[in-house]
């Protein structure tokens, strides 16, 4: 399995509209619009930073994963995403190594990327996303 780079860092926010004030207006990162991923009950907005991006995540439903995260921990960093060369190969390798996976097969995330999450119990508490674009 080959990790190419940190693709993005996911930040849970109550409101992308408010979050934009800091990430875009204050820091000057480009806001390139938002996108709703209905299957994950989330609205996302990506802010490019050099080779990586910051992803703001706002829930679209009270029972969505981002809503549950904010209920438990408040706003803040929710996941870190590594870009991999081949996500199927990476998942197969991790499974073989006994890593607990949330997604055994990739699903389609924002921007049409193939994504899969590893379980935080296998990663020192960090929700790790693999993505292939
Ligand atoms: Zn993400």
How many angstroms separate the first and last alpha carbons of the chain? Answer: 15
Q: How far is the CA of 110 from the centre of ligand 1 (A)?
A: 8
Q: How far is the CA of 112 from the centre of ligand 1 (A)?
A: 12
**122 CB contacts (<8 Å, ≥6 apart)?**
99, 100, 101
Q: Calculate the alpha carbon distances from 46 to 11, 40, 43, 105 in Å.
A: 10, 16, 10, 24
Q: How far is the CA of 98 from the centre of ligand 1 (A)?
A: 23
Q: How far is the CA of 6 from the centre of ligand 1 (A)?
A: 11
Radius of gyration for the chain, computed over Cα atoms and rounded to the nearest angstrom: 15
Q: How far is the CA of 26 from the centre of ligand 1 (A)?
A: 22
The model's pTM:
0.93
Mean pLDDT of the chain: 95
Q: How far is the CA of 117 from the centre of ligand 1 (A)?
A: 9
- Which pair of tokens denotes residue 119? 């379980």
> Minimal CA–CA distance to 55: which of 72, 31, 71, 38?
31
Query: 73-121: per-residue pLDDT in tens?
Result: 999 999 999 999 999 999 999 999 999 999 999 999 888 899 999 999 9
CATH code given to domain 3-132: 3.10.180.10
Q: How far is the CA of 28 from the centre of ligand 1 (A)?
A: 21
Q: What percent of the chain has pLDDT over 90?
A: 91
**23 CB contacts (<8 Å, ≥6 apart)?**
29, 31, 47, 54, 56
């Amino acid at each position: 399995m080959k990790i190419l780079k940190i693709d993005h860092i996911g930040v849970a926010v109550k409101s992308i509209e408010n979050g934009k004030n800091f990430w875009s207006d204050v820091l000057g990162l480009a806001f390139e619009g938002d996108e709703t991923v209905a299957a994950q009950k989330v609205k996302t907005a990506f802010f490019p930073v050099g080779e990586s991006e910051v992803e703001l995540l706002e829930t679209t439903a009270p029972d969505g994963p981002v809503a549950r995260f904010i209920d438990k921990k408040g706003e803040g960093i929710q996941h870190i995403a590594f870009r991999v060369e081949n996500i199927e190969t990476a998942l197969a390798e991790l499974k073989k190594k006994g890593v607990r996976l949330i997604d055994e097969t990739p699903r389609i995330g924002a921007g049409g990327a193939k994504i899969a999450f590893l379980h935080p119990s296998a990663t020192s508490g960090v929700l790790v996303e693999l993505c292939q674009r």
